[in-house]
Amino acid sequence: MHNLLKSVLPICIVLGLCQDAIADAISTYGVSIDTVSLIGHPAGPFYLYLEFIDGSGVGDANNTVRVNNVSLGRGSALGGPIVFGGATGSLATGVSITDSSPVNIFSQQFTAGQKLSFSLGLTSNDDSGGIPDGFTVFILDNSAVPLPTLAPGGDYFLTVALHSSGPVFNVYGSDPSRSPSVGNPVSIPAPVVTPATPSVPEPGTAWLMGIAALLWIAAITKTAQRRRPSRRLSSQ
């Protein structure tokens, strides 16, 4: 019984440590926005403007959004990014935004190509109070005004509400009846969102500690086996 407890207790510790990593499971999606109508438009160059709002309103840092593998479809990023709150990175290296502030912002200017696409990674922790964390994608013109869209309550192309049961997406196309700050109205269909991978745990300290503990269990088991005295059969 003593030996059994020695083996089971470390395993229980490992499982407990891994719970934190499992809670930070991240799901990845592909996002694609047709930007052909922005090529050569007088309202350019444009800005990709990403906003991540903490549902609790206090900046509890319980969720993270990652924008990677950004492709501008023969367009190019311009200048350096503007970040606020828990936002870091760039269009070239990838963007990470944690809701460590009530409002968290990333923005960077770009010249438009045929398509703006990126991979979108989302964690899925619920906020206390029932209001989910929200991620929103805007495209701004060169006057830093959002391009007109058909979205209710704001000119955005995509919004995501983060829930433990899975993210909830809403997508909208541009509004053909309204023009940007300069030039004619643009024609941008609603973004296309496709699941890229199932949820997988983010690598973290807990996983490393768990692996170390398992290696320790294997080591002490092997040592105990080596020290076990051999038994000789006595002649009858």
DSSP state of 132: P
Asked whether 122 and 161 are in contact (CB, 8 A), the reply is no
Strand partners, 137: 50, 158
Instruction: Pick the closest to residue 169 from 81, 95, 65 (CA basis).
Output: 65
Instruction: Tell me how crowded residue 230 is: count the other CB atoms within 10 A of its CB.
Output: 4
Give tens-digit pLDDT for 40-82.
999 999 999 999 999 999 999 999 999 999 999 999 999 999 9
Quote the pLDDT of residue 152.
95
Quote the pLDDT of residue 220.
54
Give tens-digit pLDDT for 6-28.
544 444 444 444 444 444 678 99
| Amino acid at the residue 106 | F
Instruction: Pick the closest to residue 143 from 109, 106, 104 (CA basis).
Output: 109
